[in-house]
Structure 1
Amino acid sequence: MKALLLIIPLCLLLACSKKDDPGHVENIPGLGGDTWVNSPLDKWLHDTLTVPFNIAVKYKWDQFEFELNKTLVPPKEEKIIPVMSAIQKVWMNTYIAEAGATFFKKYCPKYFILSGSASWNENGTITLGTAEGGRKVVLYLVNDFQIKGMEGYRPSDSSNVKQMFHVIEHEFGHILHQTVMYPVAFKRICAGFYTGNWNNVSDEEAHRDGFVTPYSMASFDEDFVEMVSTMLVEGKNGFDAIVNSIPNGTSINGVSKAEAQSRLRQKEALVVSYFSIVWHIDFYSLQTRTRREINQLLY
């Protein structure tokens, strides 16, 4: 509704500015005035994603798809196929292999919006992706996407790429738990430790309190999907390394190393159980497939 209220005055203003020419029509991108001839890129997106999965990808710039107070840049067209092809391999194909095409078609988001840059927030954090109602996913930082085989790729670029996969897995995790909620026991593990100041917490400090990432501390739901996405993207060895990296002693909140590790292992067990009981998915098998695809793209 807020977007509608902003759009209407803009349309009225444009109409008034042309009052001396009643026959004039302003073409506003995204509101029906923009047309273009389909390119090979459009055909690839249509044949690869729209036809089999009913997924649409919007890469041509339309500011109304984003927050109007943010300064963003359009995605580079040469990045679109590498990004969406990688997402298909790491996220789509792995879920289909474990849960079947019917499951994926039913629950996957149907609309992807791409931005070339990150979306900066007032508190200094950046938004790397959002999901709306389980149907629309917005992905940022598309122009920074680099994988093995692309000109100029360096191993250090892998963190940016893994972050994009992390966003996809995170947002899909939200879709799943908003469809069927995860066990209430998950909320008890770190009750009383969630905070709105998560952006001031380091990775190590989060781990020492039993959280897989600082953002996990934002809420129960974010904790759950951060567990899902981190376990999938980092793989079993990567997740085990996080658990084992917790130093001796206690955190500033009085959590011992043993308790922090126990919290992470309890969350891991509940994630695995949830996927098995609710979705009939072998999470460890999905984890292995996902990490293998990431390794093939990056190393």
Structure 2
Amino acid sequence: MKKHIYNLFLIVLSVLFTAACSSDEPDYNRSVITIGNTEKTEFDKWLEANFVNPYNIAFKYRYEDIESDLDYYVVPAEYNKAVKLAHLVKYLCVDTYNEVAGTDFTCEYFPKMFFTIGEWEYKNNGTFILGTAEGGRKILLSGINYLDQYIENAQMLNHYYFKTIHHEFTHILNQTKAIPTEYQLVTGNGYVADNWSEEPYNEIYLSRGFISSYAQHSYQEDFAEMMSIYITNDADSWEALLKEADKESEALIQQKLDIVKNYMLTSFGIDLDTLRSILQRRQNEVFSGKVDLEDLTIK
């Protein structure tokens, strides 16, 4: 009797397994996970022509556990979302720095790898990681599967993705040219490390002389936040932000901004206002429909 029941169980299990496999057969030509010698998609060919060949930049959209932080539960980026993001990274970041500083600058300093994952990396303090930079060569971008929710809103798109890229790129530049010592002294006693996300620091940062709550973490994060927030906001948005601070705090923020501007100009020959102007123009061109975010034609 036990033998018959066991055999029946194996038959049922086999049927279920076969049905599951036949009804959910993966498309290996568009896999979002690295599985051996995956055949190149049209997207792979587009990436090769627009990132790899001209700049030696790898844009990895398939999931690779070796590139992931195993301390977090993550999922692969969706194929169509990755296509759109790659177009945006090229037009708003790579091409922007080409225009302001030349392709030699981009080839020398821009990160050599982007790795995307679909979900945010959630921390146990109620915050989540938008992106990280590693060793001056790699930028991780998370939450890619939410891209369509923000793709028509410049403020949200910058907040969740592109401010992150410019922020992390600033860290990479800082590894080449150190942050001036004078920057560390402007609000030197105001840094609160991981307490930046807790009350009252998550609400009173402007009155303390910081451009964002995360800027209170350390002078390194403060510097990166100052640059990335400045260039992703137009003049009106920036002024509106400063109006929330009192005169003394606004002066501290302006003092730090002046140091960032001088750093970029003397270290890399980049006028920060010119960079912001170019970025804002390109951003408007994206939202006006000038850029087809799904076109994989190789030109």
Taking structure 1 as reference, are residues 95 and 296 closer, same or farther at Cα in structure 2, changes over 3 Å only? same
Taking structure 1 as reference, are residues 218 and 280 closer, same or farther at Cα in structure 2, changes over 3 Å only? same
Taking structure 1 as reference, are residues 195 and 126 closer, same or farther at Cα in structure 2, changes over 3 Å only? same
Counterpart CA distance in 1 for 2:56 and 2:63 is 21
Residue pairs, 1:214-253, within 5 angstroms: 214-246=213-245
Q: Does 1:191 align with 2:194?
A: no
Where does residue 140 of structure 2 map in the other structure?
Answer: 138
Q: Does 1:266 align with 2:255?
A: yes
Choose the corresponding residue for 1:50, options 44, 49, 52. Answer: 52
Q: Partner letter of residue 230 of structure 1?
A: I
Question: Displacement of 1:204 after TM fit?
Answer: 4.4
Q: Contact conserved, 1:115 with 1:141, CA < 8 A, in 2?
A: yes
For residues 73-121 of structure 1, what are the alpha-carbon distances to aligned partners after superposition, in whole Å with 9 as ceiling and x for unaligned?
Answer: 1111011221011111111111111111101100111111110110001
Q: Contact conserved, 1:116 with 1:143, CA < 8 A, in 2?
A: yes
For residues 99-155 of structure 1, what are the alpha-carbon distances to aligned partners after superposition, in whole Å with 9 as ceiling and x for unaligned?
Answer: 111011001111111101100011111001011011111100111113xxxxx8775
Q: Any runs of at least 4 consecutive aligned residues in structure 1 with deviations exceeding 3 A, and if so which?
A: 152-158, 201-204
Where does residue 200 of structure 1 map in the other structure?
Answer: 198
Q: Contact conserved, 2:264 with 2:270, CA < 8 A, in 1?
A: yes
Larger Rg: 2
Choose the corresponding residue for 1:171, options 168, 172, 180. Answer: 168
CA RMSD of aligned residues (A): 2.3
Taking structure 1 as reference, are residues 260 and 157 closer, same or farther at Cα in structure 2, changes over 3 Å only? closer
Q: Contact conserved, 2:261 with 2:272, CA < 8 A, in 1?
A: yes
Counterpart CA distance in 2 for 1:111 and 1:155 is 26
Question: Displacement of 1:33 after TM fit?
Answer: 6.7
Q: Contact conserved, 1:236 with 1:287, CA < 8 A, in 2?
A: no
For residues 206-246 of structure 1, what are the alpha-carbon distances to aligned partners after superposition, in whole Å with 9 as ceiling and x for unaligned?
Answer: 11111001110000100000000000111332222211122
Q: TM-score, normalised by structure 2?
A: 0.80
Q: TM-score, normalised by structure 1?
A: 0.80
Choose the corresponding residue for 1:292, options 260, 274, 281. Answer: 281
Q: Partner letter of residue 267 of structure 1?
A: K
Counterpart CA distance in 1 for 2:59 and 2:95 is 17
Question: Displacement of 1:69 after TM fit?
Answer: 3.0
For residues 12-65 of structure 1, what are the alpha-carbon distances to aligned partners after superposition, in whole Å with 9 as ceiling and x for unaligned?
Answer: xxxxxxxxxxxxxxxxxxxx9722111101001111100100001111112232
SS of 2:133's equivalent?
strand
Q: Contact conserved, 1:144 with 1:160, CA < 8 A, in 2?
A: no
Choose the corresponding residue for 1:83, options 79, 82, 85. Answer: 85
Structure 2's unaligned 5+ residue stretches are 1-33, 289-299
Counterpart CA distance in 2 for 1:180 and 1:195 is 25
Q: Partner letter of residue 283 of structure 2?
A: I
Q: Contact conserved, 1:233 with 1:294, CA < 8 A, in 2?
A: no
For residues 251-281 of structure 1, what are the alpha-carbon distances to aligned partners after superposition, in whole Å with 9 as ceiling and x for unaligned?
Answer: xxxxxx2210100110111111111111111
Question: Displacement of 1:294 after TM fit?
Answer: 2.1
How much identity, in percent, do the aligned residues show?
Answer: 30
Structure 1's unaligned 5+ residue stretches are 1-31, 147-151, 247-256
Instruction: Give aligned pairs, total.
Output: 256
